[in-house]
Structures are given as C-alpha cells and as structure tokens.
Amino acid sequence: MMDLPGPRWKKGKDAKDFAAVAAAKPMSRIVAKLQASLKDSEAMAILSGDGGDAILAIGRKQAKLLNRAAFGRHIENAGEEERQWFQLRPEEVFFLCHALKCISVQSENKKQMDEAQLWDLFTSTSEPFPEMYKAYQHLRLKNWVVKSGLQYGADFVAYRHHPALVHSEFAVIIVPEGKEFGSRCGRLQVWSDLLCALRASGSVAKTLLVLTISTKGCDLASSDCLGQLIVHERAITRWIPQQCREQHDKPQREEANGDVQIQKPCSEDASKEEREETREGVAFSYWGVILSFTILSSLLVYKLKF
Amino acid sequence: MAGASNAGNRRRRSRAPAGGATGAGNDDAEEHHLNPFLDAAPSTSSRIQFRDVASRARWVEEAGAAEVVEGKGKLWLTTGVTRGGKLCYNVEEIGFLVERGAMILLSDKDETIGIEGIYEKIAGGKYGCSWDAFQAYKHLKSLGYIVGRYGVPWTLKNSGVVHTDQSFNKVDGTCSDRTKSLKEMHIDRLSPSFEVYVPNSKFKKSSPGAPNFLLCVLRNKPFLRVELERLENNFGGIPLKYCHVDHGRVSFLSFDEVALPSLP
C-alpha cells in the first residue's frame, strides 16, 4: 500500500492555511445539512434537452450550503435576488437524486423524471456514465470533493475539501474492466496514453489516481448495477532512479510547511549521513583534546605558581 | 561515474526554480542532443578500452554465461554470481561491462568476442535477456544500483546443495546451473525480471538481504489491474516497480494500490 502525499492547503489573508477551517467544518456535516435543506425546500432540477447539465434554482440558504459542499457551478444572474441558479453536471444530479435523495428532477418539458428514467437518459447520452458515476459516488461517499478533470486531461480531480481551501491532490482516470462495458475506448490502453496522463497530472502537481471499475456481472442498463460495481484504487507514479525516490505531486522545491515528499533514501544518502555523523564525532573528540589540554596546562600553571 | 552524475543532479536540484516551472521534477527534463553540425570533431566516448585494467571472461555456451578467468577492479563485488568459487556473468552483465571497457569476452578458443557478438546474444533472446531488459539493466547499473536476475542466487556452493527448488545439471558444477535460471527471466508482466538493491557500498553477495524492489519490464498493455494484483500477491511484500523501454529511454513507474481515506 502506498503512502499518499498529504494535502496542500491554501492560505488565507492572514497567511495561515485553511486546514483549521476545513477541520472545523467537515464535509460530511456540510453535505448532511445541504441534504436536509434541499429536501425541505423540495428543490427541483430541470434537465437541459441534450441530457447534459441540469439547472437548479434554490434559495439563499440552500445556495450557501451547495457552494460549501462544492456541488455545481453558480450561474451569475443579475435579476434574481432571492433565488440562486446553479448548473449541475449529470453525476451531481444523479448523486443528489439517487444517493442523497434530496432533489427531484424534471425534464425540459416539465415531465417528472424518476431514477430509472434519469439513468436511461444519462447512459444514453454518455456511454461511460455508469463507471463515471460509480467513481463519482465512491469518492463523494468518502467525503472527497469531485470536480471535472477535463482541463487536465483526466476524468475528475479530487479535493480533500472545498477547492477554495485546498489544492486538488488527485487527477482521476476511470478505467472500466469487463465485457459488460462493451467495446468502450478505455483509457491507458497504450503507453503513450499512460505516460501522457502521468505527465499531464504531474505538471499540475497532482498524483495520478486510476480507478478501475470492475463487475462480477450486471446489467448496466439499470442503476441497480451500481451495487455490483467494484472500485479499485491505484496510483501511478514515476520513479526517478537518479534520485532514488518516488516523484509525487510536488515540484522540485522544499515545501516550507514540510509537506510530505516521500523520499526513500538511497544508501548513498544514508552513507552521507553516516559520514556527517563521523565528522561530528571527530569534532567532539577534537574539542575534547583541546579542553583536556587547556585543563591540564591550567593545572600545571597553577601548580608551578604555587 | 554514478557518484558524479548524482552530484550533478544534486546541484541541479538546488538550482531548481522556486515556482516549479520545470514541472513536477521531470526525470528527463531536458533532452540532451549532441550537435552533429559542429565543425569540431566531438569528443568521442571516453570509454577507451584499457586492456590492462579489463577483466577477462570466457563464454561458456552450455551455461549461456561467461566464466571470469582474470578479474580486475571492483565491479565484481556487485556484478555476476559466484558458482563453486567461480565468478559468472550473464549476457546483460557482459554487455554492460564490455561497453564500459571493463571486460573482454573470450571464446572457448580464447579469441576476443567483439561487442557485436555480445549484442547478438542479447538481442537473440536465447540467453534469458531481451534487448529492452538490457536497456533497463544498464540504466540502473550506470546509476550505481545493484541488479540481479530475479530468482537467481548470488552465490551457490559447488557441492550441489541448492537453495532453490530448481534441479541443476551439474555437468561441471560451475556455471551450468545458469541454463535453468535463464528460462526463469520473464520479459513480460507475469514475473519480475530483476531484483534491485539501492547503491550500497556494503553489499555482500554472501548475504545480500532482501532487494529493495523487484523490476518488471513491461512491453504490451501498460496497465492491467488483475495481473498487477496477481503479481503483487506473490512477492512477500517486496515492492514492485515497472519499467517501459521506448527506443532506449527507460521509464520507471509504480502502480501502487492506495486506499483513499474516508474524510470527516
């Protein structure tokens, strides 16, 4: 099992990092409050016609919680004062609907959609939706914040808390496994793709996290398959023999806050430490000699004088 | 040589721009190209073969290995295996040593086998090492790592007491047991190719200890979860690393299982 790199918290105006803010407001509690609040207000999302994003209009209180829980993207709207508009991606819609059961969903022509219809719509619009959603749900249920990773050439990026408080640690790529997934053009099937993904994630200081989604056999046409899908987590890291260390998500500088850069010390480094210790030992004995000599000569002078 | 390159790397590290502009520590940040358009003749490789400091070894066809007849220098401390008191080198070790001018390979008629003959043996794949695996071997050896073929003991007594479950053909009791070992190197994902120790001046073949990691040389599909899991279960907690060789460039990777914590 690999030691994961630690989080890189962002810093506030007082130059203190946001770790304390995140610790004081755990994501699970924020999401629980959001869930209760959306349920209470009977929030309803409206699908866009093409099966892509949905739009959600909610009150100020819900909006604050939705923002804190890092779902969706706020839509600036000059006219509205009481209502805040948000845009939700399919995984977020389905998560709020299926996992948290706190919103209902309407098609663009005002038809109420149940879960099965939603699943149908999302899977027919996007073939990889089953594995994408399973991965999304897997991470969200562990209280990681999951956002699009497209600009980094990945499927998702995962944050330890709200993106305003912390840098994302992982670029996530999802790899479906098994004939149930059909003839998908999966990622990481050839070396150029794997090394590309590794380089892309490294250049933005993220660890490449591969989530393989396997199944013992289920029908992806129904959201019931979610219970049969298994998520396997692996990190791909480059190892640099010149430096005898794993390359993690850090650029080559020492982090002042002592963030973890996993160094497996080369024996060369270890023997360097040994040499330094020996030098110290020699220094002590050098001063020991000087001290003894001083004491002895003082004693001698003392004796001679008296 | 390894020390020099490491020192250079340490200097480079301390000069790395604070903003990490070079990207997260690329191991191959700059492609270094020798300029072939310069008028002055470029200085050729300084690896001139000094015959008086080179070891000499004789190729033993039945063993698919070379037996050292005259050892020089200190490379033998971390290279080659001892069989019944004799030092034997396999093809990748021979290739590495001859390229550096540290060894001369002789035929059974005591004629020098040139580097092309050695490359033939490696590329032919009959002696348990592929061209790709040879690139990976050289890369690590040049950096000071101690690299042995996976599963091949560093020393074996001549008496026939064997600490592996292989039965060796004890024709001459020295290098012949390597014929069995040859088949054991796998240049695919099913088994590691090498066992690797970090640079260690105190390395002893008589008690090498557990390797720091095992290296699998991958060729085909880069990432198959099921095979990774199958591999990992077999090696008693010794880390596995993987490398891919592309036209002489070796990329080393880890595919470690992780468990993302559940957050509060």
In angstroms, rounded to a whole number, what is the distance separating the alpha carbons of residues A7 and A17?
Answer: 11
**3-class secondary structure, A278:** helix
Long-range interactions of B231-239: CB distance < 8 A, separation 24+: B231/B189, B231/B190, B231/B191, B231/B192, B232/B257, B235/B192, B238/B195, B238/B210, B238/B211, B238/B212, B238/B213, B238/B214, B239/B212, B239/B213, B239/B214
Average pLDDT over every residue of A156-181 = 95
Q: Which pLDDT score, from 0 to 100, does residue A261 have? A: 33
Contact: A241, B16; criterion CB under 8 Å:
no
Q: Which CATH number fits domain B130-154+176-263: 3.40.1350.10, 1.10.3720.10, 3.40.640.10, 3.40.50.1100?
A: 3.40.1350.10
Q: Are residues A197 and A224 in the same domain?
A: yes
Contact: B23, A1; criterion CB under 8 Å:
no
pLDDT at B166 over 70: no
Of A261-275, B73-87, B222-236, the range with the lowest mean pLDDT is A261-275
Superfamily of domain B50-129: tRNA intron endonuclease, N-terminal domain (3.40.1170.20)
Provide the domain limits for residue A221: 127-241
Q: Is residue A299 part of a domain?
A: no
Q: Tell me the nearest-neighbour CA distance from A119 into chain B, angstroms.
A: 27
Q: Name the residue facing B24 among A160, A189, A249 (closest C-beta).
A: A249
Q: Is residue A302 part of a domain?
A: no
Higher pLDDT, A45 or B15: A45
Q: Are residues A36 and A136 in the same domain?
A: no
**3-class secondary structure, A244:** coil
Average pLDDT over every residue of B35-56 = 68
pLDDT band at B51 (very low <50, low <70, confident <90, very high): low
CATH code of the domain containing A180 = 3.40.1350.10
pLDDT at B210 over 50: yes
Q: Which ipTM score applies to this complex?
A: 0.75
Q: Name the residue facing A195 among B13, B251, B260 (closest C-beta).
A: B251
Higher pLDDT, B42 or A195: A195
- pLDDT, chain A, mean: 85
Q: Are residues A91 and A197 in the same domain?
A: no
Q: Name the residue facing B252 among A170, A239, A252 (closest C-beta).
A: A239
| Half-sphere exposure in the Cβ direction for A186 (13 Å, CA) | 23
Q: Is residue A9 part of a domain?
A: no
CA nearest B10 in A: which residue? A243
Q: Name the residue facing B255 among A234, A248, A249 (closest C-beta).
A: A234
Average pLDDT over every residue of A53-63 = 94
Contact: B254, A209; criterion CB under 8 Å:
no
**3-class secondary structure, A212:** strand
Which of A 59-118 lie inside 8 A of B, CB atoms? Answer: none
Q: Is residue A234 part of a domain?
A: yes
Q: Is A213 in CB contact (< 8 Å) with chain B?
A: no
A vs B: CB pairs below 8 A: 158
Place of tokens 């739009």: A55
Domain end (from A87, A106, A126): A126
Residue spans of the domains in chain B: they are: 50-129, 130-154+176-263
In angstroms, rounded to a whole number, what is the distance separating the alpha carbons of residues B54 and B67?
Answer: 14
In angstroms, rounded to a whole number, what is the distance separating the alpha carbons of residues B163 and B167?
Answer: 10
- pLDDT, chain B, mean: 77
Contact: B24, A27; criterion CB under 8 Å:
no
Q: pLDDT digits over A187-196, tens only?
A: 999 999 999 9
Q: Are residues A176 and A114 in the same domain?
A: no
pLDDT at B178 over 50: no
pLDDT at B147 over 80: yes
In angstroms, rounded to a whole number, what is the distance separating the alpha carbons of residues B79 and B207?
Answer: 14
Q: Is residue A195 part of a domain?
A: yes
Q: Which residues of A are catalytic?
A: 159, 167, 206
Q: Which pLDDT score, from 0 to 100, does residue A81 have? A: 78
Q: Which of A103, A102, A106, A1 is CA-nearest to residue A46? A: A106
pLDDT band at B50 (very low <50, low <70, confident <90, very high): low
Q: Tell me the nearest-neighbour CA distance from B41 into chain A, angstroms.
A: 30
